[in-house]
């Protein structure tokens, strides 16, 4: 994979002597999402803004696609780089469609064409077409942020810089945007550099994560799995947090073969009835044996389903398996195989043992 952006010994020293970024060297791979994360004041925003030269480095070199950014005219450089900030920064007196079409219009794209494209982008970021004629103040924060992303995409940039774009949103909307956004980047093949102070957001979105520490120093640059499993310093270990073991489970695959034995589960097929199971948890299955949910009245009827949560399939992450156990009404997750047929159940203790063993031994260590 080729590098889209290269930092080489980049430094930013402000006139008052503050060194915001110290000897930064890193490569941003094309088509990937790279996240700059770290506590406040550690130089993330400064590093991001040096890419499109909103801030000029005082030493070192940044190249984009092999070309030294300092040799390009700023307007030309920025034409290929989208920029999204917190609170979207939309133009208040322009409609949503006009906001999205801003850069294409400046680039001479005819109005009708720019508008068609704006409508497509509106759909891409999950907003209904009737929002096109609204003004930013008539949208919620999350909707404005979606328009901000659409506007950045409108010029079909090869690179998008995002500075804490979701930080001002409430946790639910924020999680929604993270979820959708993590699909959008890879789908469009756009190279994204994303700044956040939130390690969970970094892990959710980043293909690679650069952890900055105070003083503008790059503490570690690695894939999320590696960051969690092998933090390079005490600072990184602290920053990724005490619950990093749990986070790391996202990268471990649930493997039925790792368990010596599964627990048993009584099953009732749709249309059958087993009075002996009244008052006990059992699994409802369809005629082909596929798990439909949990029942506790022994009646083979979809109306009896008390919960559909609490099932895990081979190939799910260990974190999903853990969630399945925790959300199952029985405190044990149903383990499903081909065609969602029930293989048995697992509980927290077995899972923890397999998960911890997997991490300790690393991939392939199991005989």
Ligand X SMILES: Nc1ncnc2c1ncn2[C@@H]1O[C@H](COP(=O)(O)OP(=O)(O)OP(=O)(O)O)[C@@H](O)[C@H]1O
Closest separation in Å from C-beta 210 to ligand X: 11
CA distance 57 to 12: 5
Nearer to ligand X, 78 or 197 (CB): 197
Q: Which is nearer to ligand X, 38 or 165 (CB)?
A: 38
* Shortest separation between residue 162's beta carbon and ligand X, angstroms: 13
* Total site size for ligand X, rule CB under 6 A: 13
Reference 148, options 162, 138, 159, 137; nearest CA is 162
What is the pattern of x (binds ligand X, CB under 6 A) and - over residues 20-59? x-----------------x-xxxxxxx-------------
3-state SS track over the chain: CCEEEEEEEEEEECCCCCEEEEEEEEEEECCCEEEEECCCCCCHHHHHHHHCCCCCCCEEEEEECCEEHHHCCHHHHHHCEEEEECCCCCCCCCCHHHHHCHHHHHCCCCHHHHHHHHHHHHHHCCCCHHHHHCCHHHCCHHHHHHHHHHHHHHCCCCEEEEECCCCCCCHHHHHHHHHHHHHHHHHHCCEEEEEECCHHHHHHHCCEEEEEECCCEEEEEECHHHHHHCCCCHHHHHHHCCCHHHHHHHHCECCHHHCCCCECCCEEECCCECHHHCCCCEEEECCCCEEEEEECCCECCHHHCCECCCEECCCCEHHHHHHHHHHCCCCCEEEECHHHEEEEEECHHHHHHHHHHHHHHCCCCCC
Least CB distance from residue 47 to ligand X, whole Å?
A: 7
Within residues 196-215, the interface with ligand X by CB under 6 A covers: 197
Compare residues 16 and 187 and give the one whose CB is closer to ligand X: 16
Residue 194: closest CA among 225, 167, 227: 167
Q: Is 257 near ligand X (CB under 6 A)? A: no
Residues 169-198 touching ligand X, rule: CB under 6 A, are: 197
- CB of 161: closest distance to ligand X in angstroms? 12
CB 163 within 8 A of CB 152: no
Least Cβ distance, residue 267 to ligand X (angstroms): 53
Q: How far is the CB of 214 from ligand X (least distance, A)?
A: 8
- Shortest Å, Cβ 203 to ligand X: 17
The minimum distance between CB 139 and ligand X, in angstroms, equals 25
- Which CB atom, from 214 or from 339, has the smaller least distance to ligand X? 214
Q: Which range touches ligand X (CB under 6 A), out of 13-21, 103-111, 266-274, 296-304?
A: 13-21
Is 193 or 336 the residue whose CB approaches ligand X more closely?
A: 193
Nearer to ligand X, 214 or 357 (CB): 214
* Part of the chain binding ligand X (CB under 6 A), chosen from 11-19, 128-136, 184-192, 344-352: 11-19
- Residue 14 sits in the site that holds ligand X (CB under 6 A): yes
By beta-carbon proximity to ligand X, the closer residue of 43 and 165 is 43
Interacting span for ligand X (CB under 6 A) from 14-22, 109-117, 140-148, 149-157: 14-22
Encoding tokens for residue 24?
């930064």
Q: Between 212 and 251, name the residue whose CB sits nearer to ligand X.
A: 212
Our finding on whether 18 is near ligand X (CB under 6 A) is: yes
Is the distance from CB of 305 to CB of 356 less than 8 angstroms?
no
To ligand X, the closest distance from the beta carbon of 44 in angstroms equals 4
Binding site for ligand X (CB under 6 A): 14, 16, 18, 20, 38, 40-46, 197
């Amino acid at each position: 994979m080729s590098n889209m952006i290269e930092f080489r010994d980049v430094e930013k020293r402000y006139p008052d002597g503050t060194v915001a970024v110290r000897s930064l060297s890193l490569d941003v791979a094309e088509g990937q999402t790279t996240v700059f994360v770290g506590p406040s004041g550690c130089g993330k925003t400064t590093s991001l803004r040096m890419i499109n030269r909103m801030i000029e480095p005082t030493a070192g070199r940044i190249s984009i696609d092999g070309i030294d950014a300092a040799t390009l005219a700023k307007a030309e450089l920025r034409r290929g780089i989208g920029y999204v900030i917190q609170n979207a920064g939309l133009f208040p007196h322009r409609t949503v469609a006009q906001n999205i079409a801003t850069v294409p219009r400046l680039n001479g794209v005819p109005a009708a064409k720019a508008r068609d494209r704006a409508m497509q982008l509106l759909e891409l970021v999950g907003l209904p077409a009737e929002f096109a004629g609204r003004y930013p103040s008539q949208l919620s924060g999350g909707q404005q942020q979606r328009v901000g992303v659409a506007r950045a995409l409108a010029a079909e940039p090869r690179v998008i810089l995002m500075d804490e774009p979701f930080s001002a949103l409430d946790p639910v909307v924020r999680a929604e945007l993270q979820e959708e956004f993590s699909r959008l980047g890879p789908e469009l093949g756009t190279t994204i550099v994303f700044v956040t102070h939130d390690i969970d957001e970094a892990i959710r979105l980043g293909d690679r994560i650069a952890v900055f520490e105070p003083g503008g120093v790059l503490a570690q640059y690695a894939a999320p799995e590696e960051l969690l499993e092998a933090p390079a310093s005490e600072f990184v270990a602290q920053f990724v947090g005490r619950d990093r073991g749990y986070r790391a489970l996202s990268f471990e695959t649930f493997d039925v073969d790792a368990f010596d034995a599964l627990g048993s589960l009584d099953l009732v097929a749709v249309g059958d009835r087993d009075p002996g199971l009244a008052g006990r948890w059992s699994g409802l299955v369809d005629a082909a044996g596929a798990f439909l949910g949990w029942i506790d009245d022994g009646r083979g009827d979809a109306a009896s389903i008390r919960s559909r949560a609490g099932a895990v399939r081979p190939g799910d992450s260990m974190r999903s398996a853990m969630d399945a156990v925790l959300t199952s009404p029985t405190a044990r997750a149903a383990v499903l195989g081909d065609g969602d047929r029930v293989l048995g159940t697992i509980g927290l203790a077995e899972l923890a043992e397999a998960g911890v063993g997997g991490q300790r031994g690393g991939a392939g260590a199991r005989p």
